[in-house]
A and B are shown apart, each in its own frame.
Chain A
Amino acid sequence: MSMLSKFIEKGIETGTRMVPLEYQVKGSHVVQSVKQRLSLHRPIPVFVEKPIPDVATLSIDEIDVSNPFLYRQDKWESYFKRLRDECPVHYQKQSPFGPFWSVTRFEDILFVDKNHDLFSAEPIISLGPQPEGLEIETFIAMDPPKHDVQRAAVQGVVAPKNLKQMEDLIRARTADVLDHLPVNQPIDWVSHVSIELTARMLATLFDFPYEQRRKLAHWSDVAAGSPETFGGTSDTHEAFTTAAEAARLMSQLWREKAAKKATGEELGFDLISLLLSNDDTKDMINRPMEFMGNMVLLIIGGNDTTRNSMSGGVLALNQFPEEFTKLKNNPALIPSMVSEIIRWQTPLAYMRRVAKQDVELNGQTIRKGDKVVMWYASGNRDERNIDNPDQFIIDRKNVRNHLSFGFGIHRCMGNRLAEMQLRILWEEILQRFDNIEVIGEPKRNQSNFVRGYTEMMVSITPKA
């Protein structure tokens, strides 16, 4: 059990509802800082970037795809191709994240994802553990039956029925961002468009104070940047201060909505309002780890993924200019292109499981308790299932048959929202711009999980 949950449990005995969540996080921070000074804490790995060798120079055993620079240095395609061809279920005994199995082919990934009775999503779906003292509870990392109840409580917020009501608002906000972009000069597409639009969307989903929306993106970046969890660059102290701020503002938002409800005012279709209107979840604020878990999961889930697909689409159309021509000649291809962008980018590289029993998979014996990583990024480039998988083809046959949303009971809940946001973005782009030229190499994340861009300089040519 995590320090924070122990701390909270103890608090509950003594009438905890009096201790605001923010102070619970701060308390945990103090505990962790003391432990750190006393060297009682688990060591946090430090990643220093070095040039990654050509995969052909390594023995199979030496291949470590947990390296957080593999994507940044654009070596991931060759590394995963070698594993798919020579050792599709691969064991790495001594990575900085401990030993783990890599599952790299499409069909094997589908098998693992489908069989949640053989492979557990608990305690967490990252290669490494969550930061000590900041272990939140989220249903993405729970098995049935607990998973089913928790997911059911929140999935309505991004269900297609709800989305229909949001479409006009998303379109207006997208149009507003595009209309104010400087043209014919270098601008950073990531900050101006991808982060801005996803932050606006998150603020809408949470009915979060609009002027503070970039905070949501920042919280997500800090959480997804944890070095021991994903090989990222976040600092532990920053993680705690960020978590405390998030806890404070999200709790405050909850109380405001609850007060509204108490006066009989009609609630909106935002996440907290939906939780407040459901009998199973209307008291979630009294279960702080669950409350924060759901908030964090939705913030991260709705942030990196869509953001990096918004940038990835621009890059893909620059690398495959004939597809841009195809698109402009036939904008009806936008929905198909959206699926292809999501496959080609695969914004989240993997999900991790733990074997609940010994399992034979593609000639290897995975032992009970072993970590098993399903590399969606690799499966989406598996030649056995996808023709010319490294090519970006906007009118590809069976374009929706990709792994980026995962399969089985943990399949992405926000898939329809993501597709809608991207569809609207491209519909509005084609109305306005003739070209978005990527100038220079984009900067990529340091992470083994998030496959994205921290900067992508472009120059926009408006329509004549």
Chain B
Amino acid sequence: MSLHLQPVRVATSSDDSESQLVFAEGFLVAMLVHLSEQHEDDAGRWFLEAGFGRIPSRDHPTFLDLDEAQTWIRQQLGNAYVS
């Protein structure tokens, strides 16, 4: 499944503003936020700020980079289709 990313700035009331909207087949499925220096050990990671539809955002995982995040998102979408 191909994913499409679109950079946006998001208001989080913190230093975290760089964000990517993630679309799957034209549908918005997730919003990833790049964690700023204020997160110390997690700085630089990508945080699942919100997931829509089949993307569970209950546990708000973080990812090393956008590739890892997209792999995870594809897995979630795939799992959902199987189930």
Q: Do A and B come from one complex?
A: no
